[in-house]
Amino acid sequence: MELAGKIKQLRQKANLTQEKLADELGISPQSVSKWENRVAMPDITLLPKIAEVFGVSIDELFDLTVEQRFNRIENRMDLEEELPHEVFKEYEEFLKSQTDAEAHKLRATSLLAHLYWHEMDAMSKKAAKYAKDAIMLAPDKKDCQWILSQATNDAVWDWNVSNNSANIDFYKEVIANDKNKPHTSLPYYYLIDNLIADNRLEEAEKYLADFATLPSANPTMVEAYKAHIALARHDVKSADDIMETLAKNNKEDGIVLFEVAQYYAKQAKYDKAIDYYKLSFEHETHKPRYTDAPQAISDIYKIMGDFKKAAEAYDVVIKCMKEEWNMKDEVELKDAERTRDALLARGSSSRLK
pLDDT tens-digit profile of 24-51?
999 999 999 998 888 888 888 888 889 8
Residue 48 confidence (pLDDT): 86
Contact indicator for 194, 172 with CB cutoff of 8 Å? no
Poorest-confidence range of 143-157, 203-217, 221-235, 286-300? Answer: 143-157
Of residues 235, 238, 229, the one with CA closest to residue 197: 229
Q: What is the pTM of this model?
A: 0.79
Residue 350 has pLDDT above 80, yes or no: no
Contact indicator for 153, 117 with CB cutoff of 8 Å? no
Q: What is the per-residue DSSP string for 167-200?
A: HHHHHHHHHHT--SSSPPSHHHHHHHHHHHHTT-
Q: What is the CATH number of domain 154-352?
A: 1.25.40.10
Contact indicator for 350, 307 with CB cutoff of 8 Å? yes
Q: What 3-state class would DSSP assign to 104?
A: coil
pLDDT bucket at 144, cuts 50 / 70 / 90: very high
User: Which CATH number applies to 3-115: 1.10.260.40, 3.40.50.1100, 3.40.50.2300, 3.40.50.300?
Assistant: 1.10.260.40
pLDDT bucket at 236, cuts 50 / 70 / 90: very high
H or E element at residue 166 = helix 165-176
Extents of the domains making up the chain: 3-115, 154-352
The number of CA neighbours under 13 Å toward the Cβ of 232 is 19
Its sign, for the CA torsion 261, 265, 269, 271, is positive
Residue 305 has pLDDT above 90, yes or no: yes
